């Protein structure tokens, strides 16, 4: 792995994103639209429903969007032959993976700031903990979606297949993360499975920030960070030069 090549790869990807306004809109505006729609739906609901689930979904939405964009972008480079040409240069698979992680990580920072600011100051999301912690968790969620998207792209042959992987990678985590039913109330088998899924810790971290003035989220961030590293490592091993 060469840091100079990794940063050059990240710069190339950011340059491509800058010229793709639709993708920028998808990354930055769609989470805000979804959060705003959620706040509007529960505007007249008793009991502060939006405050109960808004923060958790603030982590889920960027995760899903980054997963889709990253997996499709990586696969497009492979199917177009760009990846094969790049890998004939000193660029290694680890450099490519880390370059994507750095590029989309920078985008995730902007996305997290925009989405969190919109949820708190426009939609009125009430949280007990500090706003910066909510932003950090949202950032980890977005980078986690990026890492899993890079991993999923290695198993797809077409962009349509990359999108199809979303139900396999994302929906089970959404159902078992504790957002719909508390994990403690699930059957023991499902509860055990949810303990191994990264989105469960993302939702736990969001709930801690929402419900406590002095939240502790170190364990949750550590688990999500481990998943990010493992996904990037596996993604570099499963990455193919071209689609057969």
pLDDT in tens, 95-124: 888 888 889 888 888 988 899 999 989 988
pLDDT of residue 7: 85
Assigned token pair, 152: 């999923």
Mean of pLDDT values over 87-95 = 75
Task: Report the 3 state secondary structure along 33-93.
Answer: HHHHHHHHHCCCCCCCHHHHHHHHHHHHHHHHHHHHHHHHHHHHHHHCCHHHHHCCCCCCH
Secondary structure element (H or E) that encloses residue 228, with its range? helix 218-238
CB 40 within 8 A of CB 133: no
pLDDT band (50, 70, 90) for residue 223:
very high
Let me know if 71 is exposed, middle or buried by CB neighbors in 10 A (0-12, 13-18, 19+): buried
pLDDT band (50, 70, 90) for residue 76:
confident
- Quick one: which of 226, 14, 3, 222 has its CA closest to 94? 3
Over pLDDT 70: what percentage of the chain? 95
Q: 180: which DSSP letter? A: S
pLDDT of residue 1: 66
Reported as a single tens digit per residue, the pLDDT across 144-156 is 998 998 888 877 7
């Amino acid at each position: 792995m060469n840091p100079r090549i990794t940063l050059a790869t990240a710069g190339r990807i950011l340059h491509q994103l800058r010229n793709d306004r639709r993708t920028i809109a998808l990354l930055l505006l769609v989470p805000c639209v979804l959060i705003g729609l959620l706040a509007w739906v529960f505007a007249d609901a008793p009991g502060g429903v939006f405050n109960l689930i808004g923060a958790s979904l603030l982590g889920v939405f960027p995760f899903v969007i980054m997963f889709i964009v990253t997996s499709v972008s990586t696969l497009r480079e492979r199917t177009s032959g760009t990846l094969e040409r790049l890998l004939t240069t000193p660029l290694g698979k680890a450099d490519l993976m880390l370059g994507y992680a750095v590029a989309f990580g920078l985008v995730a920072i902007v996305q997290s700031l925009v989405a969190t600011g919109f949820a708190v100051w426009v939609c009125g999301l009430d949280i007990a903990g500090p706003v910066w912690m909510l932003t950090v968790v949202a950032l980890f969620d977005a980078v986690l979606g990026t890492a899993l998207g890079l991993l999923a792209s290695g198993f797809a042959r077409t962009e349509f297949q990359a999108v199809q992987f979303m139900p396999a990678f994302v929906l089970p985590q959404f159902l078992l993360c504790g957002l719909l039913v508390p994990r403690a109330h699930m059957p023991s088998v499902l509860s055990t499975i949810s303990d191994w899924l990264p989105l469960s810790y993302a939702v736990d971290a969001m709930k801690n920030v929402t419900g406590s003035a002095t939240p502790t989220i170190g364990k949750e961030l550590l688990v999500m960070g481990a998943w990010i590293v493992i996904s990037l490592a596996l993604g570099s091993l499963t990455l193919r030069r071209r689609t057969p």
